[in-house]
Amino acid sequence: MSRKPIEVSSKKTWSALRFVACWDTFWFNPRPVGDISFIRVAVAAAASVYALTWLTSLGSWIADEGLLSRSQAEFLIGRGVEGTGSEGRISPLFSYVPSSFAWAYVLTTSVVCAIVSLGVGGRLLAAAAWALLLGLVHRIPMIQGPGDFLITGLFGYLVICSGTRIKRLLGDRPSVNDKVSWTCSLAIRLIQCHVFLWFAASLASHFAEPFWWTGTAPWWLSFSGDQSWVSIRFWLDHPYTMNVVCYLVFGLQAWVLVSFLVPTWRKSGIVALSAFAFLNFVIANDWIYSLAIAACIPVLLASPDGKKAEAFTETQLISSTRIKHPGTV
């Protein structure tokens, strides 16, 4: 027996129900699971490379005879101090481990992340790879800069939906018979929100730093040591170029934020994101963070068209939920 449409007596109730439908569509609208595959390839490949970078200084940071022993690492993260959140930083590398175990742990993390990038193992293997990554980051946070947190944060959403295998991804074009799931939409939306908030916080931090406002940040980064591909003398001889670069960093991040909100800006947002990753590499010589930023490019490619989503919501609200707009007969 078919249900009768729900009568909505006021426009306020209609607006509230429409908001609920838009909310559900934004987060949980079923979509092909292959939509997240390019994001998975980029993020998991970046995580695999990130794990390998630990091998260059593994003895210095992990071994007890190195620069940062277990007791020193526990002190830095506030282990045993209430209110620091250190009890949640779990890692097998906090226990005394031989160098061979540390090498095996890092290599295993890199290999498992690489396998995840191929789409093998599904969510279970993605969860295992994420746990291994967290074990590295929990042992020594920020050892590779902000790229640590961006890569591990984005990787966690692959546990919700990891997409299709790379063989299927590079094969025929998607068809109507492809598997669809609300978990894919949820994972993509969470990744989009994560990247948007990350760049919003990054832009805010640059606004709060006077060195960027005065246009001298590249000089300070070069002066602080082996932190820039550009010499100090170049910045001193070209002050206007240094100022332009600083303000370009502001503009590119703002451009990326707007591209998330305006569908027609998304292609240009990819250009801005790529340019920001390149500038970060040249100015700060932080190629891990640049790699993490580059891994965010497919996030913009996966953004659905806002107008189509709105049109679908209207249809869903009227047909699927069987709600009659006030004034209809």
Confidence label for 322 from pLDDT (cuts 50, 70 and 90): very low
Average pLDDT over residues 267-293: 88
Give CA separation, 76 vs 139, 141, 153, 166, 324, in Å.
10, 9, 21, 41, 60
pTM: 0.79
**Secondary structure (3-state) at 181:** strand
> Once rounded to an integer, what is the mean pLDDT over residues 270-289?
87
CA 86 – CA 49 distance, rounded (Å): 27
| Highest mean pLDDT: which range of 45-49, 160-164, 278-282 | 45-49
Residue 274, pLDDT score = 93
Find residue 324's DSSP bridge partners. Answer: 7
Alpha-helical regions (H) of 225-265: 232-237, 239-261
pLDDT value of residue 177: 47
Taking 80 as the threshold, does the pLDDT of residue 16 lie above it? no
Contact 317, 21 (CB under 8 A): yes
What mean pLDDT is predicted for residues 124-143? 86
Q: Is the dihedral of CA 34, 36, 37, 38 positive or negative?
A: positive
Q: What is the gyration radius of the CA atoms in the chain, in angstroms?
A: 24
Distance in angstroms (rounded) separating the CA atoms of residues 40 and 157: 9
pLDDT classification of 11: cutoffs 50, 70, 90: low
Which residue type, as a one-letter code, is found at position 146? Answer: P
Question: For residue 10, what pLDDT band results from cuts at 50, 70 and 90?
Answer: low
Can you give the pLDDT at residue 130? 94
Q: What local confidence, expressed as pLDDT, does residue 317 receive?
A: 43
Q: What is the mean pLDDT of the chain?
A: 77
